[in-house]
Structure 1
Amino acid sequence: MKHQLDLPPDYEPRVYVVDDDEGVCTSIADLISSMGFTACTYTSAEEFLSGTDNRINGCVIADLRLMGSNAIEMLRKMKSEGYEIPLIILSAFVDVTTTVSAMSEGALTVLEKPYAEQELWDHVIAAILLNAEQRFARRWLLEYHSKESRLTEGESEVMRLLLKGLSNKSISHQLDLSARTVVMRRKAIINKLEVDNVIDLAKLITKAQIIEQYLTTDNVVAEIKCQLQE
């Protein structure tokens, strides 16, 4: 199954199972192994948080009612510590309040026990594909903002007008610059953002805006810009 998903070659997801019932942990771990993924098991939220860090990839499966912090409390701690990995919550007692609370905190889904193996399987695959997609998007956005940060203030000003469809002559007039200066700044923009022309530049900016919107809920854009300033 793992090889059928066409995951990036440098992406090595694991499935982290958190349940204080050893039998349940073993059962889920066996299922995950049969899918071709590595499963790591933990008996509490505290053990999981102390045994991992926010760089892990793949997905987390956690029982709602854990000894110590429950799965929703664990999810809040994960968010505060910068984890960027989908969480699937399992519970024998699923109601509207619990489901809304869990998913509003960022849980991918809440599955009611007993569940069909195929149902859990499908959600694990969806979670891993989502994690891989978000990871790629974050990496692409970091690379884009790294290039964008090389633009001078004057170049950014010219780029803004280019994207509005203004000609070199109109930009020259509006910014009170010589035609040569506009041409030089335009060339610098194309080179620094590694595109061939203004049309490709517009496509690049549009892609960046779409990805930023997609990742906004995780405050990823702000985090990326902070990284570039460090």
Structure 2
Amino acid sequence: MASNDADEPIVYVIDDDEGARHSLEFLIDCAGLRVRSFASADAFLKADPPLENGCVVTDVRMPGMNGIELADELKRRGAGVPVIVITGHADVPLAVQAMHAGVSDFIEKPFGDDTMLVAIRAALARHADRDELQVERDRANQRIATLSTREREVMDGLVSGEANKAIAYDLGISARTVEVYRANVMLKMQAKTLSELVRMVTIARLG
């Protein structure tokens, strides 16, 4: 008996670059997932597609509303749909802005097919099982609890997008000492990148 399409996950690709958009469509379709694409955030919002079992993959830089603004708008509407933002210009302040907008994942170009598919499947799984977010929150809080007071202060600076020298100045320590604390924070939080650290801390603070 055929399954009801409405119950199957669907991925919405939003990118003004036609080549990139079609490439992602092909990748997602070949992975056995339903996919629908839009050339702009405005077109996506105007279409008002069902989001209950959906996931949004959007480029950060587009004419009109950008990817982070779209995530913010969906959050404002209470959509609760996971949003994966793609960027070729990744930096910490942008990652901070993305996570505060409720972005599920933040992927830097160039990325491999597997990286994108893993992110999509993880986002859909979290969306299907809302308890997973609580598990992530608990895990992040447990890791934060292992940090010393100074490590937390350095982590707060990093998550706010401050450079090592700025953190050093604010805390009255040397930039080299900040680097040591920063390495400790990344190790204890089990974060491979600053974007990952930002995501963990944001999830922890949502509670």
Matching residue of 1:44? 40
Q: Which amino acid is 1:43 matched to?
A: A
Q: Say if 2:108 is the partner of 1:112.
A: yes
The alignment covers a number of residue pairs equal to 133
**Are 1:90 and 1:112, in contact at CA under 8 Å, matched by a contact in 2?**
yes
Identity %: 33
Specify every segment of 5 or more residues in structure 1 that has no aligned partner in the other structure, as ranges: 1-8, 138-213, 219-230
Q: Which of 60, 71, 82 does residue 67 from structure 2 map onto? A: 71
How has the CA–CA distance of structure 1 residues 118 and 46 changed in structure 2, closer, same or farther, with 3 Å as cutoff?
same
**Are 2:84 and 2:105, in contact at CA under 8 Å, matched by a contact in 1?**
yes
Specify every segment of 5 or more residues in structure 2 that has no aligned partner in the other structure, as ranges: 134-202
**Are 2:126 and 2:132, in contact at CA under 8 Å, matched by a contact in 1?**
no
**Are 1:54 and 1:82, in contact at CA under 8 Å, matched by a contact in 2?**
no
**Are 2:88 and 2:109, in contact at CA under 8 Å, matched by a contact in 1?**
yes
Matching residue of 1:126? 122
> Higher RCO, 1 or 2 (CA under 8 Å, sep at least 6)?
2
In structure 2, the residue corresponding to 1:111 is in which secondary structure? strand
How has the CA–CA distance of structure 1 residues 135 and 27 changed in structure 2, closer, same or farther, with 3 Å as cutoff?
farther
Deviation of 1:10 after TM superposition, in Å, equals 7.4
**Are 1:11 and 1:132, in contact at CA under 8 Å, matched by a contact in 2?**
no
In structure 1, the residue corresponding to 2:7 is in which secondary structure? coil
Greater CA deviation, 34-43 or 54-63?
A: 54-63
How has the CA–CA distance of structure 1 residues 101 and 130 changed in structure 2, closer, same or farther, with 3 Å as cutoff?
same
**Are 1:15 and 1:39, in contact at CA under 8 Å, matched by a contact in 2?**
yes
Superposed counterparts of 1:26-41, under 5 Å: 26-41=22-37
Normalising by structure 1, we get a TM-score of: 0.53
Deviation of 1:217 after TM superposition, in Å, equals 4.8
Q: Which of 97, 103, 113 does residue 93 from structure 2 map onto? A: 97
Greater CA radius of gyration, 1 or 2? 1
Matching residue of 1:15? 11
Aligned-residue RMSD, C-alpha? 2.6
Tell me the distance in 2 between the aligned counterparts of 1:94 and 1:26.
23
How has the CA–CA distance of structure 1 residues 76 and 93 changed in structure 2, closer, same or farther, with 3 Å as cutoff?
same
**Are 1:61 and 1:89, in contact at CA under 8 Å, matched by a contact in 2?**
yes
Q: Which amino acid is 1:120 matched to?
A: M
Deviation of 1:15 after TM superposition, in Å, equals 0.3
Q: Say if 2:15 is the partner of 1:24.
A: no
